[in-house]
Amino acid sequence: MYKTVWSKCQKSVCQLSFYSSSGIKLISMTGFKVNDHFLITDDYLFKIHKAVKVKFRFVKSDGYTESTCIEISMNELKKRIIKGIAKDKTSFAAINVDFKEFKNIPSLKLNKNKTIEIGQSLAVLGYQLDQDNLAIKTGILSSAFIHENGLKYFQVDSSIKQGNSGSPLINAETGEVIGIIGQKLATITQSHKRMKQIINNNLAILKKSQGKFNVEEIDPIQVLIANQNQIKYITNEIYKTATMSIGYALDISYVHDLFEEFIDAEVSQSSMEFQIDA
């Protein structure tokens, strides 16, 4: 069953890698092609900061040999975001990828059956943050719920890693996409966010006292600041490589709603501003 899912779906799953002006890879996500020339991914896309370009990359059936790729600037990416997506109303991003290089990339089929049974066998196809290979994960649909933001999500018992954000959640029996793996509901994401807030608050307090004390010509405040920055770095590294046993996916029906409402819409500048995370 999962071999069939792999052979049927892997060609449509894309890695999105974001690079700084110095060519350093900042972060990567997963996306998947639908409706001939659109790419769906998680709304974490809107929080990428310091990136100047993005690389779209598809692989062959071995999971790592590149089949095709292109690089575009972040400004070009913003122009290709489908207008009508508002961050406070949905939790995914849709991008026009009508590049000639992607013409032969097949699209995944989206599920139209609104009744998804708990216990359904599922597959997640995604790239990992620390590796460039595409991997398939198995799991089951353990629950469904309406979040406080009013959107429907699926809870998935499966191995989810950083970089899987934006991966298609696939019904293993039909090969159809039923959801989009996200990361903002994950417990580790919330914990990482709180840890960063604590560290940044500590740094702000320490910097106010910097240079006011010296012990044998050493400023102890500078030592504490260096210590907090080291903790921040280690925290980020742990977050990048962490594996979660439970994942959350947005119901794919919201993608249907977008295409129904904006099927004839032109791609233009998104009204959404890209945010800067501290």
> pTM of the predicted model, to two decimals?
0.76
**Greatest CA separation for the chain:** 72
- The rounded distance, in Å, linking the Cα atoms of 165 and 125 is 10
The CATH code of the domain that includes 62 is 2.40.10.120
- The rounded distance, in Å, linking the Cα atoms of 86 and 264 is 18
Q: Residue 139's closest CA among 185, 108, 175, 170?
A: 170
* Counted domains in the chain: 1
- The rounded distance, in Å, linking the Cα atoms of 7 and 140 is 20
DSSP secondary structure string, 226-239? HHHHHHHHHHHHHH
- The rounded distance, in Å, linking the Cα atoms of 47 and 202 is 23
Task: Specify if 120 maps to a domain.
Answer: yes
Task: Specify if 70 maps to a domain.
Answer: yes
- For residue 51, what is the DSSP state? -
Task: Specify if 212 maps to a domain.
Answer: no
Q: What is the pLDDT along the chain (278 residues), one digit of tens a residue?
A: 899 999 999 999 999 999 999 999 988 999 999 999 999 999 888 888 889 999 999 999 999 999 999 999 999 999 998 865 545 556 899 999 999 999 999 999 999 887 788 999 999 999 987 788 999 999 999 999 998 888 899 999 888 877 899 999 999 999 999 999 986 545 556 666 677 788 888 888 888 877 777 776 778 888 888 888 888 777 766 666 555 657 889 999 988 888 776 654 444 444 444 443 43
- The rounded distance, in Å, linking the Cα atoms of 244 and 237 is 15
Q: Which tokens is 157 given? A: 């018992």
Task: Specify if 61 maps to a domain.
Answer: yes
Domain coverage including residue 11? 2-187+239-262
CA 182 to chain centre: 6
- The rounded distance, in Å, linking the Cα atoms of 187 and 183 is 9
- Residue 251 forms beta bridges with which residues? 179
Task: Specify if 206 maps to a domain.
Answer: no
Task: Specify if 223 maps to a domain.
Answer: no
b/e map 53-78, b = 16+ CB within 10 Å:
bbbbbbbeeebeeeebeeeeebeebe
Task: Specify if 229 maps to a domain.
Answer: no
Chain position carrying tokens 């600041």? 225
Task: Specify if 106 maps to a domain.
Answer: yes
